Structure 1
Amino acid sequence: MEAFLNWEYMPLIPPLLTLLLVIITRKVGISLGAGIITSAFVIANGRFGEFFTLIIDSFLAIFIEDGGLNTWNAYILIFLTLLGIMTAFMNMSGGARAFTNWALTKVKSRRGAGLVTGLLGIIVFIDDYFSALIVGQVAKPITDKYNISRAKLAYLVDTTASPVAVMAPVSSWGAGIMGLTAPLLIGAGMTHISPFQSFMYMVPMNFYVIAAVVMMFIVIIFKFDIGPMRKQEDLAINEGVLRDKVPEFAEQDEDLPVHEGSGASALIVPIVALALTVIVAMYITGAMEGGDWSVFTVMENTLITHALLIGGIVGLVLTLVYYFKHTKNDNDFSGRHILLGIKTGFLAMFPAMLVLTFAWMIGGLISELGTGELLGTMVENSSLSVALLPAVIFIVACIMAMATGTSWGSFGILIPVAGEIIISLGETELLLPTVAAVLAGAVFGDHCSPISDSTILSSTGSGSDHIVHVMTQLPYSVISALIALAGFVILGLTTSVMYGLLGVLGGLLIVFVIVKFIYRPVAKQNA
């Protein structure tokens, strides 16, 4: 049995099994559990004692690191709890209802609701976790009013979280990418280009993000609903928002009393305060860690989870201030409603926290399996045409990030591998295009993976069933990835960013023509 378990490609089996089970069963918990068990069994080479130890250790590693608290994971779970409780009390104080009523005086159509959501996601580019959670929370009342399905909301949120953050130099993503690129520039003798300049050069080469964001606006403006998304939109439009078949959460929300006569400030002030606090805390923690107050040093060293936790505390405090202010003279509210709000907020976020915990467990085990390294080695050992390398690297990054559930893990493995291949071949003009292909492919894989934490948080923030979100988003992401692939083929053959972009724009033009002249939207849609 050990000979079989040591088979060369065995590290690919657990993540592929997980993805297959997700598609077949649509049960993310069962699928992740099977992936965790399979991964641990393979690592342990079938030895049951070591297998159980690995399962326990993978769970403990979520909360304990180097003998201390793993603040990254713990703070995200705490922040989710705070956000859930904030939402419950904003509903009870009447702030959410008042905000919806105010927003509806500004937004007059389904198209307008979609555009506001998409633009808000682009504006909130500082971090993908922050964007995924906050944009969904803010936009949900507006999209619900116009019967936009929660799956569509989650798609809009997810498309403007990681994809936009990876394009922004002043973000937690931008600084990290610059840090990974800097050694390659030195190794290639390209010291005349700074890491910041290299990042900006790669922005127009991130063909997947460009295609995905433009695709999102085509979906919004022309009501381009295909595959499983069409079914969800049809249900939402003709039968009302069904909260993606998660009625127990709808019932919990409806059990909460809502104060009449509140203002929109009961929602706006806590959310804005949370956002500003996070930004300030990111800057302060980054400066303290990096010893320098310059923007890029701050972004490279910022402690995003610390910032989220501080922002969550400030947001919750202000939410409670408004809650007590509006309900103190309301006889429908009593002390028990405080406990009810806390319980409801926690329960609303608990399924997401459970899935996120499983995703972290399988992510750690897949890392120990060496799945990413195996894929990187396969690329390094292949005899590929140099001109096709950006396209091939893009495909490998797509597969790696989808299988491992992390774009950052794919960055860390593939950027050095791809860079060293290019440097060893002396084709330095393809260095930045190839690194850009890694970024684009990794974001696609992360965007579509059911075990991706940012995808889980996008469905959480939007109140969508997670697997429904993954399956409804997939067709748009695949179309965008195919368009991006064509762009990378052209870029590799011509070494011209302009020709690559023209290829991407050509693909998007074909989609536009199909949508404009052939596609028929779901019936009963209001503009």
Structure 2
Amino acid sequence: MDHGILSLLPPVLALILVLITKRVLLSLGVGIIVGALMVHQTEDMFVNAAITDILSTVINIFITEDGVNTWEFYIILFLFLLGMIAALITITGGGRAFGEWALTKVKTRTGAQFVAAFLGVIIFIDDYFNSLTVGNVSRPLTDRHKISRAKLAYVVDSTAAPMCVISPISSWGAYIITIIGGILTTHGVMEYGSLQAFLMIAPMNFYAVFAVIAVFAVAYWKLDIGPMRAHELRAVDTGELLDRSRGAVPGENEEAVPQAEGKVVDLLIPILTLIIATVFFMVLTGIQAVEGNADLLAIFENTDVAAALLYGGLVSFAVAVILAFVRKVEVKFIGLGLWSGIKSMLPAVYILIFAWTIIEVIDALGTGEYLASQVDTFIPVALLPALLFLVAGFMAFSTGTSWGTFAIMLPIAGDIAAATDIAMMLPVLAAVLAGSIFGDHCSPISDTTILSSAGAGSHHIDHVLTQLPYAMMIGFTATVSFLILGLTGSTLLGLAAGIVTLAAVLFCIRLYTQKQPEAAL
């Protein structure tokens, strides 16, 4: 059944409820139920059918007819492993030692945010890996400088996907290059290959470029606005890094306390092991998939990210356990730490399962296809990049998946360019990529957003609400850039227009924040 515009109801309803109730699971649950009822509305006993469908969807997230659904299952296992690794680092005293050491090297709140941002920029292999690793590594430092967890989550999220989407050597880059290659072949574009096209598109991905720039500008000029300002003021004034009234926090572990006088290496060794082992297994699984007969790009295209995260997590976990024994931590404290590490990740796991479920329901309703069908080719060609940026943004926001948006919207954008002006091929592809990241940053059901909350130890709803004003600001800037790109065909002019727009917006925000009585933040 074609639900048309009503297919938007479940995600929009979930968002509205999130904003009103501040309860993510409740809001997602209502969206899931409403969506399932819509899918089965024409059937007899449609309520029973909807309930059965929801239960089967949850089960099928992990188990299919072919066996275990390794992607989602491995991601959940990795989350639990990460919680246990973090707990072991805490009980060995590694987190405390790193925080004390970092205070001697990074002496300002701005510097602490810069460290987190730089880590987000250089760890661009995969967004899941980036979100969880950068948050966990940076948290001891940002905690010591009284930086709110919501602010850390914003820094993590706004450098994770934006860096992955413009890097050719990443799981994202390989995936996108593969899609672009098919589009170019379909439409007979021979003047550049898929990798060259991706590299040409990267500077046109205005949202990703400006999002990264804005992170550093927000940290340097202390541009805390809206809900973010309230979180930062509370952190500075009271030392409370998050709103405790909201309950359990993904990744937060108050039960694990230091049981030894640890050293900085007790944090660095497990984390470095995690990074090195995960990259190693990403390459290894990619080589196995292509049977060793392909280049590095093909290896990353075929890598099994979820398996690599799990295997890398297991190696890091083993190293963390060994270090705990080296520090002579009693077995009972190790056991308590491991259990508390698992419990600390349960909120993130619950939210992920609900998000995956509503995404399946939305897919059954055809929300993505409906939005894609609304793209009208009978409009001025110059407006195509800006229009596709906004449509892709709304699709990613509604469906919670940037990769799904890539798969649906990139071929459509290629068809539109081929039917109107083939010279617009790269600009419209760039607009879809940028819009997908924009919508992903705004969406409470995005898995990257959820994992950024978990990595930073922030309440998910706080992260969504505090990041939204910044995402909208960059979205507006990118829209201006895509309008100029469409009108002129010049990437440089598009970048210049965006830089001027972003600078003007940031200047106005700076003037506003300086006039506030708490300007010394």
Q: 2-side partners of 1:188 and 1:149: how far apart?
A: 49
8 Å contact 2:249–2:459 — kept in the other structure?
Answer: no
Residues 250 and 454 in structure 2, CA contact (< 8 A), matched pair in contact too: no
Do structure 1's residue 26 and structure 2's residue 30 form an aligned pair?
no
Per-residue deviation, residues 187-236 of structure 1 (Å, max 9, x unmatched): 33221211000000001100111111111111100000000000000100
| 1:85 and 2:84 matched | yes
Does structure 2 conserve the Cα–Cα contact (< 8 Å) formed by 1:237 and 1:524? no
Please say if residues 98 and 264 of structure 2, whose CA atoms lie closer than 8 Å, have aligned partners that are also in contact: yes
Sort the Cα spacing of 1:273 and 1:437 in 2 relative to 1 into closer, same or farther, 3 A. same
The one-letter amino acid paired with 1:243 is L
Residues 264-273 or 15-24, more deviating: 15-24
Residues 100-249 of structure 1: pairs in structure 2 closer than 5 A? 100-245=99-244
Superposed, 1:436-455 pairs within 5 Å as 436-455=430-449
SS in 1 for 2:341: helix
How many angstroms does 1:263 deviate by? Answer: 1.1
> One-letter code of the match for 2:273?
A
Q: CA deviation at 1:105?
A: 1.6
Verify: 1:346 aligned to 2:347, yes or no.
no
Change (3 A) 1:459 1:127: same
Letter in 2 for 1:304: V
CA deviation vs aligned residue, 1:150-176 (integer Å, no higher than 9, x gap): 000000000011111001000000010
Tell me, yes or no, if the aligned pair for 1:94 and 1:260 is still in contact at 8 Å: yes
- Mapped contact 2:3–2:365 kept (Cα < 8 A): no
Q: Determine if contact 1:107/1:113 at 8 Å carries over to the other structure.
A: yes
Q: Does 1:266 align with 2:299?
A: no
CA contact (8 A) 2:251 2:348 kept: no
**Alpha-carbon offset, residue 49 of structure 1:** 3.3
Q: What is the aligned partner in structure 2 of residue 422 from structure 1?
A: 417
Cα distance, 1:525–1:71 mapped onto 2, change above 3 Å: farther
Read off the aligned partner of 2:427 and give its amino acid letter.
P
Mapping for residues 515-526 of structure 1, pairs under 5 Å: 515-520=509-514
Q: 2 CA distance for matches of 1:354 and 1:191?
A: 47
Q: In the aligned structure 1, how far is the partner of 2:86 from the partner of 2:476?
A: 38
Deviation at 1:7, TM superposition (A): 4.8
Change in Cα spacing, 1:220 to 1:109, as seen in structure 2 (3 Å) is same
- In 2, Cα distance between equivalents of 1:159 and 1:34: 28
Distance change (3 Å), C-alpha of 1:373 and 1:66: same
RMSD: 1.8
SS in structure 2 at match of 1:520: helix
1:336 to partner: Cα distance: 2.5
- The residue type paired with residue 243 of structure 2 is D
Residue in 2 aligned with 1:471? Answer: 465
Q: Is the 8 A contact 2:251 2:344 kept in 1?
A: no
Q: CA deviation at 1:50?
A: 2.3
C-alpha contact (below 8 Å) 1:151/1:244 kept by paired residues = no
Q: Measure the CA separation in 1 of the matches of 2:462 and 2:222.
A: 19
Write the deviation string for residues 228-269 of structure 1: whole angstroms up to 9, x where unpaired: 000000100101133332565699844434134221111100
Q: Which of 96-105 and 165-174 deviates more?
A: 96-105
Change (3 A) 1:504 1:343: same
* Residues 1:485 and 2:486 are matched in the alignment: no
Give the residue type in structure 1 aligned to 2:323.
Y
Which residue of structure 1 aligns with residue 283 of structure 2? 283
SS of the residue 2:384 aligns to: helix
Distance in structure 2 (CA, Å) of the matches to 1:477 and 1:187: 34
Please tell me the residue identity of whatever aligns with 2:426: L
Q: What is the CA deviation profile of residues 300-322 of structure 1, one whole-angstrom value per residue up to 9, with x for unaligned ones?
A: 00000010001100111111111
Alignment check: 8 A CA contact 1:405 1:450 kept: yes
SS of the residue corresponding to residue 160 of structure 1 reads helix
What is the aligned partner in structure 2 of residue 460 from structure 1?
454
Query: Deviation at 1:54?
Result: 1.2
Contact 1:150/1:244 (<8 A) preserved? no
Residue 35 of structure 1 is matched in structure 2 by 31
1:50 matched to which residue of 2?
49
Q: Deviations over 1:362-393 (max 9, x none)?
A: 111111111001111110x4532111111110
User: C-alpha separation between the residues in 2 aligned to 1:12 and 1:247?
Assistant: 30
Letter of the 2:300 counterpart: M
The equivalent residue for 1:331 is: none
Aligned match of 2:302: 301
Between stretches 455-464 and 103-112, larger displacement belongs to 103-112
517 and 281 in structure 1: CA distance in 2 versus 1, 3 angstrom threshold: same
The match for 1:394 among 389, 396, 406 is: 389
- CA gap 1:63/1:48 in 2 versus in 1, 3 angstroms: same
Separation of aligned partners in 1, 2:333 and 2:520:
38
Relative to the length of structure 1, the TM-score reads 0.94
Q: Which amino acid aligns with 1:320?
A: V
Structure 2 CA distance for partners of 1:525 and 1:79, relative to 1, 3 Å: farther
Structure 1 residue 516 displacement after superposition: 4.6
User: Against the structure 1 CA distance between its residues 511 and 517, is the aligned structure 2 distance closer, same or farther, given a 3 Å change threshold?
Assistant: same
Cα distance between partner residues in 1 of 2:408 and 2:250: 42
Cα offset, 1:39, TM superposition: 1.1
User: How far apart are the structure 2 equivalents of 1:218 and 1:231?
Assistant: 19
Tell me the distance in 2 between the aligned counterparts of 1:350 and 1:439: 32
Aligned to 2:319: 318
Question: How far, CA to CA, are the matches of 1:7 and 1:92 in structure 2?
Answer: 53
* Deviation larger for 517-526 or 499-508: 517-526
Task: Provide the rounded CA distance (Å) in 1 between the counterparts of 2:161 and 2:22.
Answer: 24
Shift of 1:432: 0.7
- Distance in 1, Cα, partners of 2:257 & 2:487: 63
Q: Say whether the 8 Å CA contact 1:222–1:515 is kept in structure 2.
A: no
- How big is the shift at 1:94? 0.6
Contact 2:252/2:457 (8 A) holds in 1: no
Deviations 1:261-312 (CA, angstroms, capped at 9, x unpaired): 2211111001000100000100010111023341101110000001000110
Q: 1:263 to 1:523 in 2, by over 3 A?
A: farther
Normalization by structure 2: what TM-score? 0.96
Partner of residue 375, structure 1: 371
Conserved 8 A contact 2:249-2:347: no
Is 2:270–2:317's contact at 8 Å kept on the other side of the alignment? yes
Moved more, 513-522 or 256-265: 513-522
SS in 2 for 1:243: coil
Distance in 2 separating the partners of 1:279 and 1:110: 31
Q: Is the 8 A contact 1:18 1:32 kept in 2?
A: yes
Contact 1:237/1:525 (8 A) holds in 2:
no
SS of structure 1 residue aligned to 2:409: helix
Aligned length: 516
Query: Is contact 2:92-2:261 (8 Å) kept?
Result: no
Q: Residues 470 and 424 from structure 1, CA distance in 2 versus in 1: closer, same or farther, beyond 3 angstroms?
A: same
- Give how far 1:512 is off: 3.6
